[in-house]
Amino acid sequence: MKISQLFLSIFLLFALADVAAAEIQWINNITVNEYNVTWGYTEIYTGIDSIGYKISIDTGIGNNDSFVNAWEVLKADKEERKRFKSAIENELDIKINNETSGIEMVDVDSSLSQAILGNTHIPDTIENRYNVNYRLKESIYNASSIWFLGEPKSPVTIILPRGIDVAGISGIDNETKIVDLHTEITGFFSNSSDKRGEITINITKNESYNVTVPESNIPEKNITEMPSTGINENVTKPASEISNKIRNWSIFGIGIVFIVIIYVFKVRRNL
């Protein structure tokens, strides 16, 4: 048996014993805006978990030489994005008003740690970062609740936009709420009976807060219907009319001058 396979077997034994899981951590940072949500994940491996993670890359998608190089990390990055996207498409981890119909996943971005590079059997601290962007079809100010699905017992920070009041929160442990220009909620996903972390925040719009629509959010049809087109047409039309009048009067004036010259020439000739 190769050394790498031995280490992988040891890692699997620890995982089955639920010992290694204590050294894998997810950190969630969620920012909610009026028409979009950004969910940033930080995945942390330490100790034997970091060894197992590197071995899984080297043996799974690499050349199994007990060393993780750059091309293996790039390939792993691509696979992680596909895995993340597929998992979210199977079950969105965000709901608005207990529905997902008004939410569209825009993209998934990832950045794997440089600590993955190198010898697979050396423990290290690996921090992989992922970002998932969602687009909301309706303004969050029209919503009454927002729901998040996360890893049980994982820390979470949720930032809500200005003008949103929190009416109630469920599914979060060690909750801390800071209300300033924005509302920031921190804590941990509770571990439910089915081993899922689910947070529900009941929200209302602050009636004293006026939502201003940035110019970038103005529909394109309003942008194309700019008054400049009408102004240009109105300016061009009178200008062309004036130009025609000037040309006509010029021709008329030249004709008169020509007639006068002929007349004067005939008078002088008769004299």
pTM for the model stands at 0.70
Query: Measured between alpha carbons, how far is 28 from 40 in angstroms, rounded to an integer?
Result: 6
Asked if 199 and 171 count as a contact pair (C-beta separation under 8 A), the reply is yes
pLDDT at residue number 193 = 74
Query: Measured between alpha carbons, how far is 106 from 261 in angstroms, rounded to an integer?
Result: 80
In the structure, what pLDDT confidence band is assigned to residue 115 with cuts at 50, 70 and 90?
very high
Task: Give the tens place of pLDDT for each residue, 160-195.
Answer: 999 999 999 999 999 999 999 899 999 999 998 788
- Percent of the chain at pLDDT exceeding 90: 62
Q: What is the mean pLDDT of the chain?
A: 78
Q: Tell me the H-state helices in 22-161.
A: 47-60, 70-90
Asked if 261 and 254 count as a contact pair (C-beta separation under 8 A), the reply is no
Every domain of the chain and the residues it spans: 19-205
Dihedral sign of CA atoms 212, 216, 218, 222 in order: positive
User: In whole angstroms, what separates CA 30 from the centre of its chain?
Assistant: 11
In the structure, what pLDDT confidence band is assigned to residue 252 with cuts at 50, 70 and 90?
very low
Asked if 62 and 7 count as a contact pair (C-beta separation under 8 A), the reply is no
| Whether pLDDT at 237 is above 70 | no
Task: Give the tens place of pLDDT for each residue, 67-99.
Answer: 999 999 999 999 999 998 999 999 999 999 999
What would the DSSP string read from start to end of 238-259?
HHHHHHHHHHHHHHHHHHHHHH
Task: Give the tens place of pLDDT for each residue, 191-225.
Answer: 987 889 999 999 999 888 776 655 445 444 443 33
Nearest 5 degrees, angle CA 156-CA 158-CA 163? 165
| Whether pLDDT at 258 is above 70 | no
**Of 135, 144, 137, 136, residue with least CA distance to 205:** 144
Query: Measured between alpha carbons, how far is 59 from 56 in angstroms, rounded to an integer?
Result: 5
Contacts of residue 91, Cβ cutoff 8 Å, sequence gap at least 6: 149
Start-to-end Cα distance in the chain: 133
pLDDT at residue number 7 = 43
Q: What H or E segment, with its residue span, contains residue 131?
A: strand 126-136
